[in-house]
Chains A and B, each alone.
Chain A
Amino acid sequence: SRELLVLTYGALVAQLCKDYEKDEDVNTCLDRMGYGIGVRLIDDFLARSAVRKCHSYSETADVIAQVAFKMYLGVTPSVSCSSAAGNEFSLILDKNPLVDFVEELPAERASLCYCNLLCGVIRGALEMVHLAAEVTFLQDRLKGDPVTEIGITFLRKAEDRKHKRN
């Protein structure tokens, strides 16, 4: 059934390309849809994986890579911290199942982020646990880069123990 997911995703992106002329619009649309998925997926993830509360950004990035990606996509990206401040991380994917059937982007869609949905999902999920973050693609194999790299930048300090949190 993973194939069905990949095919569906492909059809979705293709349709969006037909609907919108500009690449940025398609990217924004994918991000928005991903966000909607992320805010719901987070509870499913927490319910099934029973991870404890993360106490640092690097713990959070590790959990996303090792548990979440594995659970939902079956791949485990490697994590690296790319800033001294400790709030920027990169997830490096050797294998991205969503692009299994895509060779390369067509010439007129050179700046399309094919997997932008994933960025939205991560952003939405993090926001629901009160961690604001910006998630973008730093490298994309479809655009000729050697690997696919997703960058997560945590925007501000995770809220201190406020009464709404446990």
Chain B
Amino acid sequence: VYVVNKAGGLIYQLEHCAPRADTEKTFSFPLDLVLRVHDERVVVAFGQRDGIRVGHAVLAINGAEVNGRLTADGKDVLEFLSNPANYPVSIRFGRHRLSSNEKLMLASMFHSLFAIGSQLSPEVGSSGIEMLETDTFKLHCFQTLTGIKFMVLADPRQAGIDALLRKIYEIYSDYALKNPFYSLEMPIRCELFDQNLKLALEVAEKAGPFGPGS
């Protein structure tokens, strides 16, 4: 769930999904996975096997978390792994989690895309991007009359997201806006908002692919 304010800044985000599966394996020289550096991270380019997929990043080596392309002690990961003396080595792979800066950037980008979408519309009075569909997820967006956008990324089969978006709007107006110490357009740091949002998400998830009430 992402909430974007009028200016395009991300004011809230919540990842409410099953914990991503990381895979840790012990390898001996030579490594049969092809690794390369992408975006300051070391990712698997080829050699998918045993739960390690292309695109997974190296998360930790021998238990110590990796820092971008350097190991915990500051050595370059690819150099470390090309040295047979360091083997056998245990490497943990997994999908890289977006950092908050990346999320901020992506939210602002979506805000701009939303604006472009409304302008490109051949009809006057377009409501902007309501849904973005891919084969692995659907992104639903709801913009209120006051300019706040609520975005939900969900499984493509999940139904009832529209109702969920309206519910999130209600929860926002209840627990964030009515909190006298919350300033508008600022990041939302309200416990009650978090709790109620998680409850609403759980209800929506339990309802499953057939939507609530059926």
* Interface residues of A, Cβ cutoff 8 Å to B: 39-44, 46-48, 50, 53, 128-129, 161, 163-166
Contacts and interface: CB of A to CB of B under 8 A. Distances in A.
Contacts of A44: 173-174, 177-178
Nearest to A128: B146
A122 B206 CA distance: 40
A166 B177 contact: no
Contacts of B144: 43, 46-47
Nearest to B147: A164
Interface stretch (B33-41, B79-87, B89-97, B124-132): B124-132
B115 A163 contact: yes
Interface string B163-196: 0001001101110011000001000000000000
Nearest to A42: B146
Contact of A46 (B6, B125, B145): B145
B182 to A, nearest CB: 9
Nearest to B141: A166
B31 interface: no
Contacts of B147: 164-165
Interface in B119-155: 119, 124-128, 143-148
B108 interface: no
Interface in B88-120: 114-116, 118-119
A166 B172 contact: no
A163 B116 contact: yes
A46 B165 CA distance: 13
Contact of A166 (B116, B126, B166, B169): B126
A43 B6 contact: no
A161 B122 CA distance: 13
A61 to B, nearest CB: 16
B146 A129 contact: yes
Contacts of A48: 170, 173
Contacts of B178: 40, 44
A43 B116 contact: no
Nearest to A160: B124
30 contacts: A40-B173, A41-B177, A43-B146, A43-B148, A43-B169, A43-B172, A43-B173, A44-B173, A44-B177, A46-B145, A46-B146, A46-B169, A46-B173, A47-B144, A47-B166, A48-B173, A53-B145, A128-B146, A129-B146, A161-B118, A161-B124, A161-B125, A161-B126, A163-B115, A163-B116, A163-B119, A164-B147, A166-B127, A166-B128, A166-B143
